[in-house]
A and B are shown apart, each in its own frame.
Chain A
Amino acid sequence: MSITGRIYKISGPLVVAEDVKGCVMYEVVRVGDIGLMGETIRLDGDRAYIQVYEATEGLKPGELVETTGSPLTADLGPGILTNFYDGIQRPLEMLKEVAGDYITRGLTVPPLNPDTVWDYTVVANEGSSVEPGDVLGTVPETKVITHKVLVPPGVKGNLTKVREGKLHVTDAVATLTKEDGKEVELTMSHRWPVRVPRPYKKKLDPFVPLLTGQRIYDTFFPLAKGGSAAIPGGFGTGKTVSQHQLAKWADSQVVVYVGCGERGNEMTEVLDTFPLLDDPTTGEKLMERSTLIANTSNMPVAAREASVYTGVTLAEFYRDMGYDVAVMADSTSRWAEAMREVSGRLEEMPGEEGYPAYLASRVADYYERSGRVVTLGSGEERLGSVSLVGAVSPPGGDLSEPVSQNTLRVVSVFWALDSTLADRRHFPAINWLRSYSLYLEVLRDWYKKNVSEDFYEVRTRMMVLLQKEAELQEIVQLVGADALPERERLVLEVARMVREDYLQQNAYHEIDSYCSKEKQLMMSKTILAFYDRALKAMDAGVSIAKIETIKVKDEIARMKYVHNAEFPDRYDAMLRAIESQFSALEG
């Protein structure tokens, strides 16, 4: 039953209602005569403090406030993929059809199109007894994703009736009789409160990498499926391009992209390109496995706060079907700022830099929703994962601020963007000395088995070269490169190769944008082969000056532009060229 009260005060996105005794925390309410959607975030006597998900201009004290009895939920069912939502899961295409080019207030449009007809196939037969997580039936949601309709959490019993065929998302697909004899009708969809993590049976340690086709991540700082990573960096350092690259090329089966308080045009870009790009694993278009949530910087801040929860809830839903899901949130700082703004209006005691004291726990809770799990459901074990990648936008690029610090405390991979690298157009501008991945050890076996026995040694050798380069650079800054011994100048030369010919990867280059793990291995080995052969040549008396001008260097510089499929041949050719050209130098 709903409770009605009246508006007492309006201040930006915060509305205070009075006479709403009995209203529940985090309950969705309708605010004002036009019924704006909001959520209670503090209760005080008969007053409720409400964050409103839409612009509050024009509201007046005395207007109606009505509770709905429900927390903020997401609608979960087929039709999420290929869709494009705002922060509270309103489908933006539909909003545009209803209201035109601008976001209009007070509209409710169902997240899952009720008119779509799905081809539903029964899996659990009449008479069978089912528990949460069991597959009732399947729907081909897109060309690449088979949607499993699951028994929702908390529901258990015997299937007394099942239906099959062309059905709408709101049609009953099964009737279930609970132990107490009560009947429930199940449809293809159900609602889930976004702030509550969806249940699973067991969390597992991650041991499979989320391959991204980006050399610096896969080779040096890998993320695991079910893991979490942060990309902090000042403006223009490459957070968004990195997130787009991950969404495009990472080998997760489902992608949830959350544009949280960022630019409208960036979302348009995703919207324009994903339906055209081929997914390297399925060969179908990327959009077929993606869903987008956009609450841009000029859209209401409270809905921005909700957007990351909406995103991770959709991700958990596909995880529960047994998929590997990756969530990109760009930018979690805007989410934290939305929290700060609302907290300020509540006149809560501010913590560091005005952020609420609960910032740390909110950030930790969010990243805790990542993981590789055994899902609910009887029968054979089903595994799924949610990987979370969050961009962080620290003021002035200074990571000592609260959002960066609280994030780094809980994530396992740190991709440190560096504005000096970005300024010189070294992209991705990830600092190789400051970044880390805590998954290196757990992924070792996988890399051994699936890439190469010696991949970690290759990786380590390259990292040592980079480390050594940094040390030598300090000396060069004092005395110039000429003063260094020949062997150390060779280190500088090869380290430059690692930086420019390996780490730099142009997201906009047709071929270089995605680099397979095999190509990564061969590229690494080419550079090291050059190094080893050059050392040998030095032993034979060849000078660094000669080595610096050797022809094969140009070929190595261009190897990144060789197609993944053609690379093995080129690799052999390069190794031969290295050998013959150095032999020639030795005379």
Chain B
Amino acid sequence: MAKTTTREYTTVREVAGPLMVVEGVEDVAYGEIVDVLIPDGGTKRGQVLESRKGVAVVQVFEGTSGIDTRSTKVRFTGDIMRMPVSMDMMGRIFDGLGRPIDGGPDIIAEEYLDIAGASINPTARAFPNEFIQTGVSTIDGNNTLVRGQKLPIMSGAGLPHNDLAAQIARQAKVRGTEEPFSVVFAAMGITHEEASFFMRDFERTGALERIVAFINLADDPAIERIITPRMALTAAEYLAYTCDMHILVVLTDMTNYCEALREISAAREEVPGRRGYPGYMYTDLATLYERAGRVRGAKGSITQVPILSMPDDDITHPIPDLTGYITEGQFVLSREMHRRGIYPPVDILPSLSRLMNEGIGSERTREDHSGVSNQLYAGYAEGRDMRDLVAVVGEEALSKRDQLYLKFADRFEKEYVTQGRDEDRTIEQTLDLGWELLTDLPEGELKRIDEKYIKKYHPKYRTG
């Protein structure tokens, strides 16, 4: 955008919800940032959503309360939304619009970056394939995370998604390099309690200086949540691609982000897509999630673990649905397992890591990984079917084979899925544990594992 000087107007014509219409304006750019000076002396930030000859529609991030149509001043800055970045962001805490709230000084900018980010040319991407060991068996063994992947936790209100996210952030490492991840943490509309859980956890493990946090709490302005993840991802990109760091981005809770999106869309009286969410929500979410990845020739990387709470635990709700269509898999938490006291209550059946295949195997984890994982899946799925069946026909009506699977599913949940909040299993421990469970099934049932790996890793042959 050609730099124009700042212009000021006092011609607010209309204020509705998060939107404000300013008249008599000139040369207003689409996407331009405005400062709104309200009569009581405060300043708010906004952005042009529609620019028409003489008229601009502005969304105000901090809400429109206090704005009037008489004396409110609107200053068009002549620039798009940018944020100051530098290495000094590390260890700092910002509000949802990127202003320090930890009492520390402002960031002295090395660069001012456009927070919208640009799309990576697909030919410039490097395919993510470096195994991240999170120490959690259901993840490492069955839904492997790799560096540069975007893999959300789909959860529900009251489930321990924060514990799991914090555990991942704490334990994640790329084997062989031992370099820890730095974490960019973006909170959108979560409670004070949840936010301090994360901060305490980061502090407890001495990770605070490896964290950049952007915090918009439940009682902070809702529309600001449109900006918060973009701030966080811009910081992440700078740290990854300019400072060569490996960044894990935790975005929570994406559901609140989507609600803010819906609010703006409703205020604009747009034709809604499903359940009142805007038709462009898929594209909008993609502009966030697709900022994960690796770039050819760059040393750093961005791995994303967004958290979203599924309204009514419904995975077909537009928020988890559209997310699942963009991310490279998902970890799904189960309320039913949580009720039975299983931690982490990851239901592996609907969970998926699409980039797993490239990240595992002899060079990255172990040669039998894929087979063991597939076999555990098949066995557990079969056992779960039996559980449903038993409820109807009783255990006696099951064949011997079916009973084996029923037991297998129980053991799988108790010994493999279940682990401590601080239990950090190596991938070998996870796979060996898997083998241990598989010994309960006849060897002929292990169709998903290559014979040569059965001979090599099956406990029966290993001890004998």
* Chain A residues in the interface with B (C-beta under 8 A): 8-12, 18, 33, 55-62, 84, 92-93, 95-96, 99-104, 234-236, 259, 261, 263-265, 267-269, 271-272, 294, 296-299, 301, 334, 337, 340-341, 344, 350, 353-354, 393, 395-398, 419, 423-425, 476-483, 500-501, 508, 548, 553-554, 557-558, 561
Contacts and interface: CB of A to CB of B under 8 A. Distances in A.
A101 B31 contact: no
A285 to B, nearest CB: 17
Interface string B436-463: 0000000010010011000000000000
Given A60-B30, A101-B124, A395-B316, A341 B352 contact: no
Nearest to B353: A236
Contacts of A419: 350
B274 interface: yes
A185 B120 CA distance: 40
5 contacts: A9-B51, A58-B29, A234-B324, A259-B122, A268-B123
**Which range contains the number of B residues in contact with the other chain?**
35 or more
Given A10-B30, A396-B316, A397-B316, A340 B399 contact: no
B397 A482 contact: yes
Contact of B29 (A60, A96, A350, A425): A60
A96 B126 CA distance: 14
Given A92-B123, A354-B272, A479-B393, A265 B349 contact: no
B118 A341 contact: no
Interface in B84-133: 116, 118-128
B118 A103 contact: yes
A403 to B, nearest CB: 12
A103 to B, nearest CB: 5
Nearest to A6: B53
B83 to A, nearest CB: 16
A252 to B, nearest CB: 23
A402 B52 CA distance: 33
A506 to B, nearest CB: 8
Interface of B: 1-2, 26-32, 49-54, 80, 116, 118-128, 148, 270-274, 279-280, 282-283, 286-287, 290-291, 293, 295-296, 316-318, 321-322, 324-326, 328-330, 349-350, 352, 354-355, 357, 370, 374, 377-378, 381-382, 389, 392-394, 397-399, 401-402, 444, 447, 450-451
A236 B53 contact: no
Nearest to B79: A58
B124 A96 contact: yes
Given A55-B116, A263-B328, A344-B271, 20 more contacts: A9-B53, A10-B30, A57-B1, A60-B29, A84-B122, A96-B123, A101-B121, A101-B296, A265-B355, A296-B119, A298-B283, A301-B283, A337-B282, A341-B280, A354-B272, A354-B279, A393-B325, A419-B350, A423-B349, A424-B377
Contacts of B382: 424
Contact of A268 (B80, B122, B279, B291): B122
A511 B122 CA distance: 29
Contacts, number: 213
Contacts of A96: 121, 123-124
Contacts of B121: 92, 95-96, 99-103
A265 B30 contact: no
B377 A425 contact: yes
Contacts of A398: 316
Contacts of B52: 8-10, 61
A500 B444 CA distance: 14
Nearest to A101: B124
Contacts of B293: 264-265
B399 A481 contact: yes
Given A102-B119, A102-B121, A263-B328, A57 B80 contact: yes
Contacts of A299: 119
Contact of A102 (B31, B120, B273): B120
A265 B295 contact: no
